[in-house]
Structure 1
Amino acid sequence: MSGKLQNGYADPWAALRRYTDARIALGRVGGSQPTQAVLDFRLAHARARDAVHRPLNAAALGERLAGLELPLARVASRAPDRPTYLQRPDLGRRLATDAQERLLGMSAAGCDAVFVLADGLSALAVERHAAPLLEAVLPGLWARGWRIGPLVLAEQVRVALGDEVGHALAAELVVMLIGERPGLSSPDSLGVYLTYRPRPGRLDSERNCISNIRPEGLTYPAAAHKLLYLLTEARRRGLTGVGLKDDAPALAEADVRAFETSA
């Protein structure tokens, strides 16, 4: 047995904690948890709550995306503020009327794919991880001749709002980059939802999802690799959702380094 002493005994779990953020082998003091474990839990819970309520810094994110040299549009859902958004998911699925009209004015040429960057339940996630993911995946799409529509920054948003955005911009595919519900070890997890031929009324079963994108979870190169595969197959087969499986070959470590260099 090895590890730090706990209550006079060696802790066999101590060496395993470095491999996971999960709360394993917290120990106990009598019938209670150690003070440090309780404090760590409260801190993680506070970070998760802060992530849910934190507003999106759209201006700063827009500056971060300027280097991609794509048009940028800002829209909002029909939820007028954060408390309403959290209590009325239905309003977060619909574009505000003025936003819909603005997007319709940009849709004349259509596009192969449009990327929506949305706060969801963690604005922190999209602020931290959306730009690096786009920087990893867009060169591969441009190299394949894809026409990419304007980047859309969306606030107070649920996943289904992407259907209205993609439909208004006459996009063949919509890719929603959205902050996922925070966990106690991941307040900044980014999710990607992919929908073929987006239109209002699409079902969740008609989407594909890539989850937990962040350096501590699914890395940017690995997520970009999966997304490129799914986008390519979605166009080839004319569908997304339960009929489209992620059969992308594994990205080897050498390929990760090459992907990072090329991106």
Structure 2
Amino acid sequence: MTESRLEPEKRVESQLLQEMKRATPARIGVSRTGTRPLTQTMLELRLDHAQAVDSVYGEVSPGTLAEMGFFSVDTCFGNKEQYLKRPDLGRRLHPEAEKRLLERCKREPQVQIVVSDGLSAASIEANIRDVYPALLDSLRLQGFEWGTTFFVRGGRVGCMDPIGDLLKPECLVLLIGERPGLVTAESMSAYLCYRPRTGRTDSDRLVLSNIHRGGTSPMEAGAHIGTRVRLMLEQKASGVGLDR
């Protein structure tokens, strides 16, 4: 039966469903056969799930790091299985990492940028070439200086604190892979903190999430992060203490 021959109430319901489906990439109103999804729907779900798993267990390629000019350090995560089971290990820098940062990084920079795979290596591969240059352009236009950018393997958001203890930046920006879902495995977040140090909590951090081609575009996100940095440096605060 075509939509024009539906009863008025059913026609309105159909139109509302189509509007909802256009407004979100979430799986709503999918067809089924009996109690099961259609084969195409099920195959798409399994594909998206496989991509999410690959993203969690994947690694950012050495070629990408070399292209961006990032050197790499590790947390205490050990391996992916430990990383998933022991989030605390991803918040602690490996002793060799601490040594390397002190040797290679500028101390007390105005802005310190850190990149980490987090829970999605694919998000770094997909977005870093756009978001990082846009962030640098934004900082440059506002007259800010930044330190030595580097990559942290096996990082969690809390690794910002020991990095802050070592390098003592005025502001730290962490670009990190988000937990992948079934809509995209390429979503990145940016966490910002004013004077990160041991003892900081999530309420002390500002976050911009959903950075990917189907969410906040990487280039737009880079520019926006720069404006947030300006507010943080002006107000000397971040997180819930920032007047936005």
Normalising by structure 1, report the TM-score. Answer: 0.82
Q: Is the 8 A contact 2:137 2:223 kept in 1?
A: no
Q: Give 1:113 deviation, angstroms.
A: 0.8
Q: Which has the higher contact order (CA 8 A, sep 6+)?
A: 2
Please state how far the C-alpha of 1:62 moved relative to its aligned partner: 1.9
From 214, 237, 243, the equivalent of 2:235 is 237
1:36 matched to 2:34? The reply is no
Greater alpha carbon shift after TM alignment, 164-173 vs 189-198: 164-173
1:209 aligns with 207
Alpha carbon RMSD of aligned pairs, Å?
2.2
Matching residue within 119, 123, 137 for 1:121: 119
| C-alpha spacing 1:176/1:108, structure 2 compared with 1 (3 Å) | closer
User: Shift of the alpha carbon at 1:201?
Assistant: 2.1
Mark the runs of 5 or more structure 2 residues left unpaired by the alignment: 5-9
- Which residue, 58, 62, 67 being the options, matches 2:65? 62
CA shift digits 1:208-260 (9 cap, x unpaired): 00001011100124312321221001001111011225x4xxxxxxxxxxxxx
* Structure 2 Cα separation of the partners of residues 48 and 41 of structure 1: 11
Shift of the alpha carbon at 1:131? 2.5
Q: Which residue of 1 aligns with 2:7?
A: none
1:260 aligned partner: none
The residue aligned with 2:185 is 187
Q: Which letter maps to 1:37?
A: T
User: Which residue of the partner structure matches residue 55 of structure 2?
Assistant: 51
In 2, the alpha carbon distance for the partners of 1:31 and 1:106 equals: 59
2:174 & 2:218 partners in 1: Cα distance?
15
Distance 1:16 1:241, change over 3 A: closer
Query: What SS does structure 2 have at the residue aligned with 1:242?
Result: helix
Which blocks of at least 5 consecutive residues in structure 1 are unaligned?
Answer: 4-8, 67-71, 248-263
Partner-residue secondary structure (3-state), 2:25: coil
Give the corresponding residue for 1:93: 91
Secondary structure of residue in 1 paired with 2:241: coil
Q: For 1:210 and 1:15, how far apart are their aligned partners in 2?
A: 27
- Distance in 2 of aligned mates of 1:138 and 1:45: 34
Q: Distance in 2 between matches of 1:175 and 1:108?
A: 15
State the distance in 2 between where 1:219 and 1:189 align. 10
Aligned equivalent of 2:176: 178
Distance in 2 (alpha carbons) for counterparts of 1:186 and 1:180: 10
Whole-angstrom distance in 2 between the partners of 1:14 and 1:210:
29
- Does the 8 Å CA contact 1:64/1:131 hold for their aligned counterparts? no
**Number of equivalent positions:** 235
1:147 equivalent in structure 2: 145
- The answer on whether the counterparts of 1:52 and 1:121 sit within 8 Å (CA) in structure 2 is yes
Alignment partners' CA distance in 1, 2:211 and 2:181: 13
Q: Answer yes or no: is 1:132 the counterpart of 2:101.
A: no
Query: Partners in 2 of 1:153 and 1:85 — Cα distance?
Result: 16
With structure 2 as the length reference, what TM-score do the two structures score? Answer: 0.88
Q: State the SS of the aligned residue for 1:117.
A: strand
Distance 1:213 1:108 in 2: 28
CA distance in 2, matches of 1:107, 1:137: 19
